[in-house]
Amino acid sequence: MKRRAFLAASAGTIAAPFVARREAAAQSPSRAETLLLVQEYGPNSMDMQGLGASQPVNGVALNCYDRLVRFKRVPLPDGQGMTFTLNELEPELAESWQTASDGMSVTFKLRDARFHSGRPVTAKDVKWSLDRAVSIGGFATTQMAAGSMEKPEQFVAVDDKTFRIDFIRKDKLLMPNLGVTIPFVFDSELAIRNAAGDPWAKEYLKNNVAGSGAFKVESWKPGTETIYIRNDDWASGPKPAMRRIITRDIPSPATRRALLERGDADVSFGLPPKDFKDLAEIGKVQVIGVPVPNGIWYAAMNTATGPYTDVRVRQAVAWAMPYDKIMQAALYGRGVPMWGAKGPPTTTAWPQPFPYDTNMEKAKALMQQAAPGGFSTSVLFDAGQATIAEPIAVLIKEALAPLGINVELNKVPGANFRGELAKKTAPMVINRFAGWLDWPDYFFFWNYHGNNSVFNVSSYQNPALDRLVDAARFTSDQAVYAENVKAFIAMAQEQLPAVPLAQPLHDVAMLKTIGGYQFWPCREPDFRSFTKKA
Query: Which of 268, 444, 466 minimizes the C-alpha distance to 350?
Result: 444
- pLDDT tens digits for 227-240? 999 999 999 999 99
**Confidence bin at 23 (pLDDT 50/70/90):** very low
End-to-end CA gap in the chain: 17
Rounded average pLDDT over 6-15: 38
- pLDDT tens digits for 152-177? 999 999 999 999 999 999 999 999 99
pLDDT the model gives residue 9 = 34
In whole angstroms, give the CA distance from residue 47 to residue 383: 24
- pLDDT tens digits for 484-520? 999 999 999 999 999 999 999 999 999 999 999 999 9
- Strand residue runs (E) in 317-437: 335-337, 375-382, 405-412, 428-434
According to DSSP, the β-strands at 244-249 and 34-39 are parallel
Rounded average pLDDT over 24-46: 83
**Confidence bin at 384 (pLDDT 50/70/90):** confident
In whole angstroms, give the CA distance from residue 111 to residue 122: 9
pLDDT the model gives residue 27 = 63
pTM for the structure as a whole: 0.87
User: Which run of H or E residues covers position 290?
Assistant: strand 286-291
The residue type found at 257 is R
pLDDT at 345 over 80: yes
Helices (H), 347-400: 360-370, 386-400
**Confidence bin at 15 (pLDDT 50/70/90):** very low
Query: Which of 307, 297, 291, 296 minimizes the C-alpha distance to 393?
Result: 297
In whole angstroms, give the CA distance from residue 428 to residue 409: 10
Question: What are the domain boundaries of the chain?
Answer: 3-266+511-532, 295-504
The CATH number corresponding to 295-504 among 3.40.50.12280, 3.30.1490.390, 3.10.105.10, 1.20.1050.10 equals: 3.10.105.10
- Would you put residue 163 in left (φ > 0), alpha (ψ -120 to 50) or beta? beta
Can you name the CATH fold of 3-266+511-532? D-Maltodextrin-Binding Protein; domain 2 (3.40.190)
Q: Are 316 and 361 in contact (CB under 8 A)?
A: no
- pLDDT tens digits for 446-459? 999 987 788 899 99
Rounded average pLDDT over 197-211: 97
Q: Are 14 and 259 in contact (CB under 8 A)?
A: yes
- pLDDT tens digits for 71-113? 999 999 888 899 999 889 999 999 999 999 999 999 999 999 9
